[in-house]
A = this chain, B = another copy of it.
Amino acid sequence: MANAVVLLSGGLDSATALAICRDAGFDAYALSFRYGQRHQIELEAAASVAAALGAAEHLIADIDLRRLGGSALTADIEVPKDRDTDAMAAGGIPVTYVPARNTLFLSFALAWAEVLEASDLYIGVNALDYSGYPDCRPEFIAAFEHMANLATAAGVEGRQQLRINAPLINLTKAEIIQQGTALGVDYGLTSSCYDPDDQGRPCGHCDSCLLRARGFAEAGLQDPLLQRFAEPY
């Protein structure tokens, strides 16, 4: 079996990406980050998801982005609530954007992939029902893949080319949920909220909660996370 590194935030999208990676036959090395996010509860979700989907290993790396600031997820900036999901994409880059986060996370994954001699990286970015983040677009992923193959020993020595897989990039949230459900993902283990309480109860009002709720509604499915909390929304 070949090795793949999977970025796993603990959210719905990355859990689905992990399931797709496993379904493709890879030994999956799941990678999460403690980066100073206010929703650090997602790391517990990531551990549960990694175990449930049979990851070969789950590594939580520390990269503290709070010193840099610039985002509602890592600094003392309020998380926007109750925005219109249809208008999100048109609203530009929201304050929950973390500068260069996906670049940094993919770079760390690249380092681990090199050590593991992994041929593939998986990232659950999504360009349709996204929140306007520049580093979730197909052209960014393609540029990263090109750069990665010049950056590493494997690329230089011609041993292998590294693929950056973004299998959700052109799916709607509803399609992601349907695909993950078919692959046996338990979305009750995941955590999407940008601003959960100490128990991980989602706020129900941030962009991420709203997109998740809309996705389940459009998929015609119940969100199993609702069963874990009596009054989540």
Question: With contacts A63-B63, A93-B157 known, is A111 near B68, CB below 8 A?
Answer: yes
Per the CB 8 Å criterion, the residue count for chain A at the interface is 45
Closest to A92 in B: B157
A108 to chain B, nearest CB (A): 6
Q: Which of A37-45, A145-153, A209-217, A223-231 contacts B (4 or more CB under 8 A)?
A: A145-153
Contacts of A151 in B (CB 8 A): 100, 102-103, 134-135, 140, 143-144
Say if the beta carbon of A203 comes within 8 Å of chain B: no
Q: Do A111 and B99 touch (CB < 8 A)?
A: yes
CA distance A107 to B65 in the complex (A): 12
Contacts of A167 in B (CB 8 A): none
Say if the beta carbon of A114 comes within 8 Å of chain B: yes
Question: With contacts A144-B147, A146-B147 known, is A153 near B97, CB below 8 A?
Answer: yes
Say if the beta carbon of A69 comes within 8 Å of chain B: yes
Say if the beta carbon of A115 comes within 8 Å of chain B: yes
Contacts of A112 in B (CB 8 A): 68, 99
Contacts of A22 in B (CB 8 A): none
Residues of A within 8 A of B (CB): 59, 61-65, 67-70, 92-93, 97-104, 106-108, 110-112, 114-115, 134-135, 137, 139-140, 143-144, 146-148, 150-153, 155-157
